[in-house]
Structures are given as structure tokens and as C-alpha cells.
A and B are shown apart, each in its own frame.
Chain A
Amino acid sequence: MSDENSALQKLLIIENAACSSCVEKIERTLSNVPGVDHVSMNFAQKIVVITGTPNDDHLLNALESIGYTGHVADPNKHDVLTEQEHADTTYYKRLMKEAVIALSLGTPLMVYGLFIGEMTVSTNLQRSAWLIIGLLTLGIMYFAGKHFYVGAWKSFLNHSANMDTLIALGTGTAWIYSMTVVFIPDLIPAMARHVYFEATAMIIGLINLGLALEIKARGRTSAAIKRLIGLRPKTARVIRESDEVDIPIEAVELEDLVRVRPGEKIPVDGIVTDGSTAVDESMLTGEPMPVEKQIGDEVVAGTINKSGTFLFRATRVGTNTALSRIIEMVKRAQNSKPSIGRLADVISGYFVPVVMIVAILSALAWLNFGPEPAIAFAIVSATTVLIIACPCALGLATPMSVMVGVGKAAESGVLIRNGEALQTASKITAMILDKTGTITEGNPEVTEIIGTQDWNKNDILRLAASLETGSEHPLALSIVASAKSKDIPLGLVRDFHSITGRGVKGTVDNKTLLFGNEKLMREQSVTIESYVNEAQRMAAEAKTPMYLSVDGILAGIVSVADPVKSDSIAAIKRLQTNGIRVVMLTGDNRATAAAVAKKVGITEYFAEVLPEDKSNKVTELQAQGEIVGMTGDGINDAPALAKANVGFAIGTGTDVAIESADITLIRGSLHGLADAIAVSKATLRNIKQNLFGAFIYNIAGIPFAAGVLYPFFGLLLSPVIAGAAMAFSSLTVVSNANRLRFFKAAEH
């Protein structure tokens, strides 16, 4: 981008625009600033794109005059993700600093207590020394642990309790007890005059350390979405007033002509209008081979132009591009929860007050039944119970795994709509596949035409194609395309009727035509007997034969074949190997269905199924106890997709029916099904590990901390160890979820 051009555009990030009515006010005010040519605000993103050469201060002053604040962003550098990363890094550094401060007091104290001397108060000198250390610990509590205490207090006032409450109570109890020992030792029995300043400092240090490491680990869980967001180019080269200018991506408008050179990312979605090239779409579809693009072909934002320079017309910009919609969907799915996590949510909702009660009961038990010094045991056990309990691990167990799992699936072109779809996909036992466009390419071609005595092939094709101009069916489109490729002029069709599941009817050249399957001919009493064998032979070759009758007399048969996708056979085998019952559905005739099914290794199929009956087939399998996945192209399969336990919409390239299905396969390949199921299973396994770990940790940790092992083995957990365990329990959950990043679906 040249300097001259970059001066034409400015981005203003509005920080406090809360209502859509602000838009008009902001636009009007800013357009009055000297040097501003045009103002356009995107409310959703709180971004104002300003064309012209205004002064930044003037813009900000104008904004402030109407009660808003904002900052001018460099269009090349503006990136929300970078801001988030920056915020995380700052917070990470702060937590690490606080951890170091706290540990630098806690560690020497702990070493002293373990190996050098006793942490008791017997003499005045000890009292003075411990008083100084107590005050130093108070300083640590303020500088390194203030956020726990403020958070706990605010929650308390709000009648809620959280992790801060437990930490504040645990460390506070230890400190207050220790200071009581220092100031009024006579209140405490001589044996129990022990101080626990090291516990307070160490717990604050370790929990801060755990939080810092958790932030780093959390950053990695969103690696997939970062990669997707990273695909968004920042500028586009558009043609404005016959000049090519680089402008920020936000400023690209519909119908803009955009130039893309080799090696560049395609900035928005559009249709190629000039030139040809090969485009690497692997980042969106997982498809490794570059895709050839000619005039009229669609190109998608975020994909990379490999070879030629070309021009395209922008058809989807801003948040409407396929990439933006994919990012939005992945983000939403990553933040949604499958039902497996509900129990953990319910438990963590009541968890903290329950732990507080357990801590009180534990202290009372020690005071009533414990050995001397009972009060010291009571304080240690109560503090340890408060510190070891970790609701965070429970709360994080599910969302962290979903975050990584959904992101991992997106990397291989599988878009999972929400956590529930992820969970159900892992349990699928039967998969229904639509034939056309799912198992096959969906681009049928005319392969053979047979005419009866008086008819030649071109006349048959002309009449059939003329009649089919009124139809949207893929087979009809292929017949029209075939006639056009032979430069056969088409006639005008009148009285067109589509007969569902049979074919079509209409008048061309004043002749009444019927075009469709054997059923249609028999119902309309057209004699086809002498050609049935030919039709059956075609069907056995996986072609679809269609009869044409003219004024009630058979004129010929047009056969259309839809080639099976190159990897359908292997993908279906993968599903079957994984124990999934694969069933094929098609509206096609029985013989063609049988031929295609045989070719791809499917033994169970339903032919001549009307579109409205597809969902009944789903219900039938469900009634047999199957968890049913239904895969279709998302257009006429919508009811069946909705009925299935998991609906898979299969798209090709960018034709993404994102909103219509539970899971969308961006790439046309059926391998996406096995990938989706595999990643769902891996994610569910990961969630179960996390939940199991979190439950066991709390169920075993709390009684241990309360001292149930003491009567048998004389073991009582130190609060410091509990602090370390709590600090690292959430880290363990996040790290386990991160293992999913290395998950690989089977090679294909």
C-alpha cells in the first residue's frame, strides 16, 4: 500500500458505542470534521471507516464532544486478536511478578520451617521476628493477593462465593491465626503456638503462578480460531475510478472490482470477471490440491492465489464472507457446552459454600476429637480444605476440550455447530447418505441416448432439454447442458408440470411430452416393453435411464450418469470399519441405486425415495435403536437433516449451508464424516478424562485435607501442598485439553 493511498482511509475504534442509534449521531458528527470525505460506521465491530485526510485529534475531539471515546487505529495493524493477546501477555506478566514476590518470601520461610528451625513463638525475640515476617506477609497479601480479597469481598456482598472466596478465607485464616499467636499467645495453648505465614505467602504465590500458566495454556486452546482469523487479509487492491488502490479490507464494498496477484490472499468473496488462476483453498476446506478458477467461478476470502493475476467482483464483504461466517460459527460452537458438562455446572454452582461448611465441620471435628494441639490441627485442616477444593477444574473441564475439539475439526474443514452436536456425533451408530451430490459428484452428464425407429438422438435430446428448461433438478440441468454443448437450439415449453418422484410433463412444438422414469410411463400408459431391457442394462451400469414419450408414444431413452466421487469408496469403508451402519438413500430407480451401492460397498439402500419420505427413513432407523447421522447437500434434505440425531450438510468449497445442519463439511469429501466422528469421540474422551480428574481430585482431595487419613496413618496435608495442588489442577485440565491439538484423524 502506498503512503498516499493509506492517507485516504482511517479507522476509528469506538470504545463506548452501546446502541445502534449511536451510529447516525457518530457518522453525522464525524462527517463535519474538516478533511472528512465519507464516514461509514460498522456498529457490530464499533469501527468507523473514514475516507479523507482529517486530523486524528480533530476526529477524537469531535467524538468526545458527543460523549464517546475512541482511538485511531492503523488499518494495517488493527487486529482484535492482537489486542487480546497483548492484554493476556500483560496480565500474564503481572501474575508472574506477583507469584515471584510471594514465593520469594514463602519459599525461604518454608525451607526454614522444614529444615532449620521451628515456626513457633516461645520467646520475645521470636515474637518480634515473627511480627516483622507477619507484616511482610501482609504486604504480600496486599501487593500479590489483593485481587483475591477484593474479589472475595465483592462476591460476598453479592451473596455469591467463588474461588477467590476460598483463597481469601484460607490464606486469611492462616494469617489471622498466626498473628494471634504473635500478639496474644496466651490465648493459644503452648503446643499450638505455631505460625503459618509461609502457607499464606506460598499459597498466594503458587495460585498466581498457576493462573499465569493457565493463561498461556488457554492461549494455545484457541490456536485454530487464531489461524482462521489470521487468514483474513488486511488490505485489498480495488479499482476505483480506473485506478488501482490499496484500501483496508473494511472499506471494500459490494460490486467493487478487486485485483489479486500471484501469492496474495483473496480479500473478500466474489466472482472472477477477468483472468484465470489456481487457488489454494486448503486452509478452509482441507483439500490439498489447488482449485482451477476461470471467469464466472467463485473465489473466497482467505484463500491464496497461486498462479495467475485476476480480477473479481466482490459479492460478499465484511462479516458476510464465507470465512467470517465460518469464524463466527466456530467461535460460537467453541463457547457452547454439550450436556455432558451440565452436572459439573450444577455442582460447581453449589460448590464453594459446601466447601466452607466442610471446612467448619472439619475444624470442629479436630477440636472435639483431635489430639493436642487440637486448635493447630483444626486451623491447618480448615485452611487446607478451603485451599485444596477447586471448583475451577470442574468448570473448565468441558469448555476447554470443546474449544480445542471444535477448532481441531474446523482445521480439517468440519464445522461443528455446537457442543451438543459434537457430543451426539461421537455416538452415531448409523449413517444415512444421500446419493446425488453426497456419494456422487452431483454433476450428472448425459452418457447415452437411444432412439426408437423414427427418432434420431439429437431430436430426442432437443425435446428432452427443451422440456427440462423448466426444472431445477440436477439431472435436468445436465440434459440442458448437454444440448447446449452441442449447439442444439431449444424449443419453448408450455404447460410444464413436475410430477414428484416420476418426471416432468409439458408441451414443446405442439407435441405433448412426458419425460421420466418407468413408473411415469406405465402410469401414463406409454408402451415401453421393447426398451425395458436397454433401460435395465443402463441402470445396472449405475446410469439413470429416462424415457421420453411424444404424444403418448415412446421416442427414446436418455441415460445420465453421475460419477462417484473419487474418495467415496474409501470414506465409506472408513465409516464401516468404525462399526457404523451405512445406508444409502436415493430418489433414483432401484437398479441404478443397486449399481451405485455395489460400487461403493454399501449393502443397505433405499431407492425411489421421495424427498418427503427421506425423514421417514431416518425415523425408521431411529426406531431400531440407532443414533442416526444423515448426510445430504442441505437443499432438499432439510427435513431429514433436522430429523436425524446429527445432520451433516455437505458443501463444496464455499457453498456452505452453515445454518442448516449440525455439522457442515466444507469440502465435498465424505472423509469429513469419519473425521467429524473421530474428532468428536476424541473430544468426548478428553472431556470425560477432565471431568473424572476434576471430580476425583475434589472428592479425594477434600477428605484428605480434612484429615481422614490421620487416625490411620498420621498423615495430614500441608496447606502449601494443597495450594500447589489447587493451582495446578486447572492447569492440568487446560493442558489435557491441549493434547487434543495433536489429534490426527486417520490418514486418507
Chain B
Amino acid sequence: MIIVNLIGLVLIVVVVWWFWLYKVKTPDTASGEVIIKVENGVYEPALIRMHEGEKITLIFLRKDRSACSSVVQFDALELSEELPLDKTKSITLDSLDTGSYSFNCQMQMYKGKLIVEDKKNG
């Protein structure tokens, strides 16, 4: 029984580490345009880095038919856009302050993050 309990506790630790504590490898900073595929429950890429003061166009290409994937929202920017199926939808963001801007579907199942960094740190 001790082994079973230990396995259970290890599983809990794995869940906590994998979903909350794991530091996702940060991608190179992007500029100009980034194509984000919306498919199979995830945004690809889900993490985008950019420099402060630059303009970026996020081009969402939705391949997933699920109802949830049909809207992307950036809560901090009070921005919400419908994503047409099998078509692109461009969202241009300009002059963002440094910080982290989450984007997600209405049900929070799809999740992504746009990280705006100070140029000096980038």
C-alpha cells in the first residue's frame, strides 16, 4: 500500500510540476508577422516573445472545428476576435508595454502568451 500511495503522490507532484512549475523554453523574439495555428486544442506556437515598441501581426489560422476555438481573446487588451475556420485572421498589436499578455479561447481551453520584453533585456 505504501508503494501505491507513493506512486499517487509522485503523480500529484508530476501534475503540479508539468502543468504549473515547468518553465517552457522561451522562443526567440519575433517581429513582423507570426502565424499561429489553432488546432487540436492548442495554439502553435503558444508562446511568443517580442520587443517593446515593435509592431507585431499575429496571424491566426484556425483548423479546429470546435466551437471554443472560434474566438480568441486577449483579456488584458480587451480584444476579442472571431477566427474563421480554415482561414487566416490577422491581429496587429502595436506599442505594447513590457509584460505578459495571455490569449485564450472563451473556455480557457486554448491558451497562449505574448511576452513583451524590454529591448535591453532582449
Contact = CB atoms under 8 A, between A and B. Distances in A.
A147 B75 CA distance: 27
Nearest to A159: B22
A334 B42 CA distance: 23
B16 to A, nearest CB: 7
Contacts of B41: 150-152, 154-155, 162, 164
Interface in A70-84: 80, 83-84
A23 interface: no
Contacts of A335: 71, 73, 80-82
Interface stretch (A353-361, A477-485, A489-497, A565-573): A353-361
B71 to A, nearest CB: 6
A418 B87 CA distance: 26
A331 interface: yes
Interface in B8-33: 8, 11-12, 15-16, 18-20, 22, 24, 33
Interface residues of A, number: 59
Given A16-B88, A364-B8, A395 B42 contact: no
A356 B17 CA distance: 13
Contacts, number: 128
B93 interface: no
Nearest to A336: B80
Nearest to A346: B108
Given A159-B19, A160-B42, A360-B11, A395 B106 contact: yes
Specify which of A158, A331, A335, A350 lies most central, judged by the most chain B CB atoms within 10 Å of its CB.
A158
A84 B85 contact: yes
B85 A353 contact: no
Interface string A360-385: 11011001100000000000000000
A252 B85 CA distance: 28
Contacts of B15: 353, 356-357, 360
A85 to B, nearest CB: 11
Identify whether the interface residues of B are mostly helix, strand, loop, or mixed: mixed
Interface in A2-42: 15-19
Given A87-B65, A211-B66, A335-B81, A348 B107 contact: yes
A353 B35 contact: no
- Among B12, B35, B81, B105, residue most surrounded by chain A Cβ atoms (within 10 Å): B12
Contact of B88 (A15, A337, A352, A356): A15
B96 interface: no
Contacts of A395: 68, 105-109
A358 B59 CA distance: 38
A710 interface: no
A363 B71 CA distance: 36
A353 B16 contact: yes
A392 interface: yes
B33 A368 contact: no
A706 to B, nearest CB: 14
Interface of A is mostly: helix
A278 interface: no
B45 to A, nearest CB: 9
A150 B84 CA distance: 22
B106 A396 contact: yes
B46 A158 contact: yes
A488 interface: no
Interface in A333-349: 335-337, 342, 345, 348-349
Contacts of A352: 19
A395 B40 CA distance: 18
B5 interface: yes
Interface in B80-122: 80-82, 84-88, 90, 105-111
A391 interface: yes
Given A159-B19, A161-B19, A336 B78 contact: yes
B106 A154 contact: no
A230 B16 CA distance: 49
B66 A160 contact: no
Nearest to A165: B41
Given A80-B84, A151-B41, A18 B46 contact: no
Nearest to A367: B4
A332 B107 contact: no
Contact of A160 (B19, B59, B68, B75): B19
Contacts of A353: 15-16, 19-20
A336 B67 CA distance: 17
Nearest to B32: A19
Nearest to B59: A18
Interface in A137-173: 147, 150-152, 154-156, 158-164
B94 to A, nearest CB: 14
Nearest to B111: A160
A280 B105 CA distance: 39
Contacts of B1: 367-368
Nearest to B109: A162
B109 A345 contact: no
A211 B107 CA distance: 13
Contacts of B11: 360
A150 B40 contact: yes
Contact of A154 (B16, B42, B107): B42
Contacts of A345: 75, 108
A574 B31 CA distance: 54
Contacts of B67: 211, 214-215, 218
B33 A19 contact: yes
A357 B106 contact: no
Nearest to A218: B67
Nearest to B20: A353
Contacts of A218: 67
Contacts of A80: 84
A154 B64 CA distance: 13
Given A18-B90, A150-B40, A335-B73, 8 more contacts: A84-B84, A87-B86, A94-B65, A154-B42, A161-B19, A163-B109, A335-B80, A350-B20
7 contacts: A152-B41, A161-B19, A218-B67, A356-B15, A357-B16, A361-B12, A395-B109
Interface of A: 15-19, 46, 80, 83-84, 87, 90-91, 94, 147, 150-152, 154-156, 158-164, 211, 214-215, 218, 331-332, 335-337, 342, 345, 348-353, 356-357, 360-361, 363-364, 367-368, 391-392, 394-396, 399, 418
